[in-house]
Amino acid sequence: MAFTLPTDIRNRPVAVIGAGTLGRRIALMFATQGGLVRIYDKSRQSGEAARSYVEQHVAEVAAGIEGGAAGRVAVTDDLTEAVLDCWLVVEAVPERLDLKKEIFGQLDGAAPSDAIVASNSSSYATSEFIDRVQHPERVLNMHFYMPPHQNAVDLMSDGHTDPGIFDLLKRELPRFGVFPFVAHKESTGFIFNRIWAAIKREALEVVAEGVSTPEDVDGMWKINTGLDAGPFRMMDQVGLDVVLDIENHYAQESPHLPAGPRELLKEYVDQGHLGVKTGRGFYTYESPSVGTTGIRPQQAEA
Ligand code: NAD
């Protein structure tokens, strides 16, 4: 059946696939208009942590959005149940191409025929994982930064995306407090993420070369930009394993990139120091947790 744009979307749920650092934050934003968000994760523990994250923050975030109202969140480990009657599905599973391909094949089969199916991938274009998808015209990249504070969203076609989807999302997403920008052509890292990647890479290189320390780089960053957190603090928040995966992907495409940033990240990852989620990264943290940082502005994009 040919794809047609979803209708009656204000009365239909949104499904979020993957309940980690980003999945729970995406779910939080879609729960701010009084509707239902279903979270699917193969780990029950991760799903439950996401539910409590959303329930803890939704009233406060919804109160800051025009017309906002705290919605409901449901958690499931059954994919078919998760996507039932949804108008939008947002995938946020780990940044692995094989996994994205598998999940997109499953989602295309399970989601309602008029549902939009989006990926939050930080560095893969959806054109790279639609080989098992029958309806690529309903698929696109919808890349979030770090809601509920960093609320710009990149939208990017998989090369087949129905143009009506962009109009619909440009109209609907701001209701949920997130603001879409469309990449006009395929771009690894979309728009703002590419600029942020260059900042992260050079910050890591400065430390890898022994020129400075994470603390001093962040200290200078804060003084000179007036922002609350520097690149190292922000990378800890994102997860150093995630940052390394993304940098590896950029390096595959652009082999001239310096190896120092990846080597430095790998040292931390090999020791299990992944940042906030393990209690230690470039900094140490009192209580290891994924995405329980609440709504303090010390956050950044992968
Ligand atoms: P994460 O590791 O924190 O969470 C991933 C979640 O997916 C986990 O809860 C895990 O249990 C679950 N999962 C793993 N395999 C699964 C499967 N087969 N089915 C269902 N659930 C599964 O990862 P994250 O940092 O939230 O990143 C998720 C995606 O979002 C990645 O594509 C990443 O590039 C992107 N992203 C991350 C950030 C960031 O700052 N961390 C920012 C923007 C985009």
Evaluate if residue 2 carries a pLDDT over 90. no
Helix, strand, coil share of the chain (percent; to 5): 45, 15, 40
Evaluate if residue 127 carries a pLDDT over 50. yes
CB 244 within 8 A of CB 238: no
Is the CB of 278 inside a 6 Å radius of any atom of ligand 1? no
| Mean pLDDT (whole number) for 264-284 | 97
How confident is residue 249, by pLDDT bands cut at 50, 70 and 90? Answer: confident
pLDDT of residue 273: 97
Pairing state between β 139-146 and 150-157 = antiparallel
How confident is residue 264, by pLDDT bands cut at 50, 70 and 90? Answer: very high
- Its pTM stands at 0.86
Evaluate if residue 301 carries a pLDDT over 50. no
How confident is residue 290, by pLDDT bands cut at 50, 70 and 90? Answer: very low
Higher pLDDT, 297 or 98: 98
The encoded tokens of residue 251 equal 């390096």
Domain boundaries, the chain: 9-182, 193-299
Q: What is the pLDDT of residues 100-111, one digit of tens each?
A: 999 999 999 999
Residues 6+ apart with CB under 8 A from 180: 142, 152, 153, 154, 155, 169, 170, 173, 174
Evaluate if residue 138 carries a pLDDT over 90. yes
Evaluate if residue 288 carries a pLDDT over 70. no
CATH 3.40.50.720 fits 9-182, yes or no: yes
Residues 6+ apart with CB under 8 A from 217: 203, 206, 207, 230, 231, 232
Output DSSP code: residue 183: -
| Mean pLDDT (whole number) for 194-219 | 97
Q: Which residue out of 122, 128, 193 has the highest number of ligand 1 atoms within 8 Å of its CB and is therefore the one to mutate?
A: 122
pLDDT of residue 286: 85
Higher pLDDT, 144 or 291: 144
Question: Nearest residue CA, atom 15 of ligand 1?
Answer: 93
Q: What is the pLDDT of residues 57-84, one digit of tens each?
A: 999 999 999 999 999 999 999 999 999 9
Total H helices, total E strands in the chain: 10, 8
Is the CB of 234 inside a 6 Å radius of any atom of ligand 1? no
Evaluate if residue 289 carries a pLDDT over 70. no
Q: What is the pLDDT of residues 12-54, one digit of tens each?
A: 999 999 999 999 999 999 999 999 999 999 999 999 999 999 9
Is the CB of 50 inside a 6 Å radius of any atom of ligand 1? no
Helix (H, G, I), strand (E, B) or coil at 294: coil
What share of the chain in percent tops pLDDT 90? 86
pLDDT of residue 296: 37
| Mean pLDDT (whole number) for 224-234 | 94
Is the CB of 93 inside a 6 Å radius of any atom of ligand 1? yes
- Using the mean position of ligand 1's atoms as its centre, give its distance from the Cα of residue 162 in Å: 26
Question: Nearest residue CA, atom 9 of ligand 1?
Answer: 20
Is the CB of 302 inside a 6 Å radius of any atom of ligand 1? yes
Q: CATH assignment of 193-299?
A: 1.10.1040.10
Identical topology for domains 9-182 and 193-299: no
Q: What is the pLDDT of residues 185-204, one digit of tens each?
A: 999 889 998 999 999 999 99
